[in-house]
Structure 1
Amino acid sequence: MSNVVVLDNGGGLIKAGFGGDRDPVAVVPNCLGRPSSSKKWLAADQLLAADFEIAAVSIRRPFDRGYLINPDLQKEIWDRVIGSLLRTDPSTSSLLLVEPLFNPPAIQRATDELVFEDLGFQSLFVADAPSLVHLYEASRWTADGLAAMAQCSLVVDCGFSFTHTAPVVQNFTLNYGVRRLDLGGKALTNYLKELVSYRSINLMDETLIIDDAKEKLCFVSLDVPKDLHLARKPGRDNPFRCTYVLPDGITNTRGFVKDIDEARRFLYLPDGSSTTPGVQAVDSQEDAGPAGDRKRVDMNKSEFDLTNERFLVPEMIFCPADLGMNQAGLAECIIKAVHACHPYLHPVLFESIILTGGSTLFPRFAERLERELRPLVRDDYRVKITCQKDPIKGVWRGGSLLASSPDFESMCVTKSEYEELGSARCRRRFFH
């Protein structure tokens, strides 16, 4: 087993494991949670236990707006992850830590104190997400003989707190080209909370439930005006209507989609854009009879319907101005990021766009992005978007690859160097 701990410390999820491994040992929430029936705060894997009821859970996060603001709370979570899940001793291990881009110096100092003084790691290397995603994908491209593309890429990281579009050249993120969109999975969840609470049931305090409903039911629209028109149809004529059943605390502790076939009807609309080839359109009469009666909404149960909310929530990333936000959409952010670079890089960057981060998992995300980009890019440039097979683990896998390289230890800052030189001088080694 490697003695390098790789920690992708995201605002929503922690991905933790050992350098050289294919997958992380743990992918767990980066927060503490306390059920209403308990006085004890639970962390990491405890929040994913099968008997953990996600209703009425109070949440405390060490991150706010993408940056670490509570090191003490972060230490409590790391203690659980490193001690109970990784089962390793920090005093005999090195740490590869993934930090947000443009991390303020005060937060860098607090992080270094946490790593070296509180946990006692023997050495530290700090990396940013775009360079690690590029490193992982470039290793696959080079194996396929695409050496030219492996030199640079444009990484689109749609995470929990915000979205970055970052040009990467030879494993270095070009900071002057990075563009940020202050929208991520957290903002989408909050927006869905507001829509559901206004239209049906007050769920403003049910973050985990709304997170689950968002991940299972939301998708990206390829034609918003057309889908809004379809969403006005009543009953079974509405292809987007579906029901989410809330936990009851007895037989159902986590919530679920009432009829998964109903929830997937949008995939089979006859518009030539089905994301599931070979699947026939759903018969509108299939739920007639006893089975259909069983799937109808029971007003005696706690459940809510979603229709146009399913595509209006992810629409925030593409058209934030529609919600009154004074920000460019994702396609425009990409254009600005590319145009900030040397013109010689433009055609290669447009041809090597990589999507990473949990918010890119919405169905049709890449297809919608390509449709938005194509009119904004020169006709003689090719637009190619690569979707990672597992965008939540993409950054971590790049870190695992880097941590397994022969030169990794020489790139780290040791505990003795930190004690002698201080945080600021040590950080210069990471070009931050």
Structure 2
Amino acid sequence: MTRLSISSGGGGYPSRPVVLDNGAGWCKAGFAGEEDPVAIVPNCVARPHSGKQRCLVADQVLGCEELQRLGIRRPADRGYLISAELQKEIWDRIFRTLLKVRTSDTPLLLIEPPFAVPSIQKLTDELVFEEFGFCSLFVADAASLTHLYLQHRNPETMLSRSRCSLVIDSGFSFTHVSPVVYNFTCNAAVKRIDLGGKLLTNYLKELVSYRTVNMMDEQWIMEDVKEKLCYCSLDVASDMEIARKAGAENYIQCNYILPDGVHYKKGVVKNPEIVPLAYKHLSTPKKQSDVYSPVLKEEKLPATGTQELTLTNERFLVPEMLFHPADLGMNQAGLAECIVRSVNACHSDLHPLLYSSIILTGGTTKLPGFRERLELELRPHVPAEYGLKIYAVDDPIIAPWRGGSLFAVSENLESCSVTKSEYEELGSLRCRRRFFNC
């Protein structure tokens, strides 16, 4: 673990601040000033179907060997907290066991989605101050922290000089398009699409269950299939033609071996060398090791006893929802249209700056071809005299956390935070006003 190179004011805290990005799909938690979080764990509690094991919490889910029909319960629905008891159990595992912090001496920087209603904010504050007893709290949004991180990593770019960017955060529950102006998120111009990684996985489950094997109860396995095999097509019509072909000409078709608990504890791609062929034309193709769990060369695939999923056009039809949700009967704008609406909600002088500084973050943006496809969709909507530049950060899942880590070691954290005594005196609603942006 390395420390971020940034000057800090030190503050008056007895312990280093904890930074928590409490995503609906994954929790990222660690200490201020570090390059990477200590823990990246599922924000869920799971129970194996056999019932032989007790409930698995957070990081324990990653070590589970019984993935078939794994029962998953999440504390968040559509990105917002709905079960404080479940969230408390997961946070307790993170703070007590993984981070091992004494919360009474520790400030917390919490990253949460925008536009949470006051009742949800109150629920979160009760967890932070009453259940865990943190000494102070600062609440931030992912967009401004992602901007801060990329500005820190690229100090000579237009993004850093103008202090403006357009952050596209496509995560587990939804996709936000957020203009960041002078390092603050402009809430009045934020646009949201109710499409994220969970809905893509659900659509993949429906397609696969209709065509091959019933996978409607296999949320965890199908998320793995999506991450390893799906991609954003740059020419849907051409890929559809290829997917219809038989034999070796159909390089889009891939087979995924389902875990059986005997030969395979986790699912693997049977023909991994074929996976990158579908997006070999991309300017930044994914490494082969990033898209599948490799089968060792000396390991022989069992001739019988394994069950496989065969995917063809599902690989690119599922991410297609992000760009054309109306084609599937959803009353939602596509991502390119959503971006234009967000930019148009800002002052016209900012338009060229925002279009030239688009940042991608969130796990869904890791799909191969996402950046190239977005540029292809967006270019016709952008005036010809404007430049269009899209930044893909190193690891979009933890980019907001890294921005929070930078901010948490600055001298601004202490002055912006709400202390436990202020919360007890003023209550959640009045304290929350301190975190409101323009």
TM-score range, shorter chain: over 0.9
Deviation readout 1:257-284 (Å, 9 max, x if unpaired): 111102222133xxx54644999xxxxx
Q: In the alignment, does 2:42 pair up with 1:29? A: yes
What is the CA–CA distance in structure 1 between the aligned matches of 2:333 and 2:41, rounded to whole Å? 31
Q: 1:315–1:124: structure 2 CA closer, same or farther, 3 Å change rule? A: same
Deviation readout 1:275-329 (Å, 9 max, x if unpaired): 44999xxxxxxxxxxx9xx77x967521110000000001110110111111111
Q: In the alignment, does 2:122 pair up with 1:117? A: no
The share of aligned pairs that are identical, in percent, is 58
What is the CA–CA distance in structure 1 between the aligned matches of 2:180 and 2:76, rounded to whole Å? 26
Report the equivalent of 1:174. Answer: 186
Q: 1:92–1:153: structure 2 CA closer, same or farther, 3 Å change rule? A: same
What is the CA–CA distance in structure 1 between the aligned matches of 2:287 and 2:128, rounded to whole Å? 51
Q: In the alignment, does 2:189 pair up with 1:184? A: no
What is the CA–CA distance in structure 1 between the aligned matches of 2:145 and 2:84, rounded to whole Å? 24
Q: 1:276–1:122: structure 2 CA closer, same or farther, 3 Å change rule? A: closer
1:321-336 correspondence to structure 2 within 5 Å: 321-336=326-341
Match 1:104 to one of 109, 117, 135: 117
Report the equivalent of 1:202. Answer: 214
Report the equivalent of 2:369. Answer: 364
Alpha-carbon deviation of 1:195? 0.6
What is the CA–CA distance in structure 1 between the aligned matches of 2:186 and 2:369, rounded to whole Å? 28
Alpha-carbon deviation of 1:134? 0.8
Report the equivalent of 1:86. Answer: 99
What is the CA–CA distance in structure 2 between the aligned matches of 1:379 and 1:298, rounded to whole Å? 57
Deviation readout 1:124-175 (Å, 9 max, x if unpaired): 0000110111111112232x36476441100000000000000001221111
Mind listing any 5+ residue stretches in structure 1 that lack a counterpart? 280-290
CA contact (8 A) 1:154 1:352 kept: yes
Alpha-carbon deviation of 1:56? 1.5
Instruction: Report the TM-score when normalising by structure 1.
Output: 0.92
| Range 373-382 or range 37-46, more displaced | 37-46
CA contact (8 A) 2:159 2:357 kept: no
Instruction: Report the TM-score when normalising by structure 2.
Output: 0.91
Residue 264 of structure 1: SS of its match in structure 2? helix
Report the equivalent of 2:30. Answer: 17
Q: How many residues align?
A: 413
Report the equivalent of 2:65. Answer: 52
Alpha-carbon deviation of 1:52? 2.8
Q: 1:249–1:147: structure 2 CA closer, same or farther, 3 Å change rule? A: closer
Q: Please provide the CA RMSD for this pair.
A: 1.9
Alpha-carbon deviation of 1:46? 0.5
Match 2:386 to one of 381, 388, 410: 381
Q: 1:37–1:349: structure 2 CA closer, same or farther, 3 Å change rule? A: same
What is the CA–CA distance in structure 2 between the aligned matches of 1:276 and 1:394, rounded to whole Å? 20
Match 1:41 to one of 55, 66, 91: 55
CA contact (8 A) 2:148 2:183 kept: yes
What is the CA–CA distance in structure 1 between the aligned matches of 2:206 and 2:271, rounded to whole Å? 23
Mind listing any 5+ residue stretches in structure 2 that lack a counterpart? 1-13, 289-296
1:210-289 correspondence to structure 2 within 5 Å: 210-268=222-280, 273=282, 275-276=284-285
What is the CA–CA distance in structure 1 between the aligned matches of 2:251 and 2:241, rounded to whole Å? 11
What is the CA–CA distance in structure 1 between the aligned matches of 2:392 and 2:348, rounded to whole Å? 25
| Range 392-401 or range 39-48, more displaced | 39-48
What is the CA–CA distance in structure 1 between the aligned matches of 2:398 and 2:160, rounded to whole Å? 25
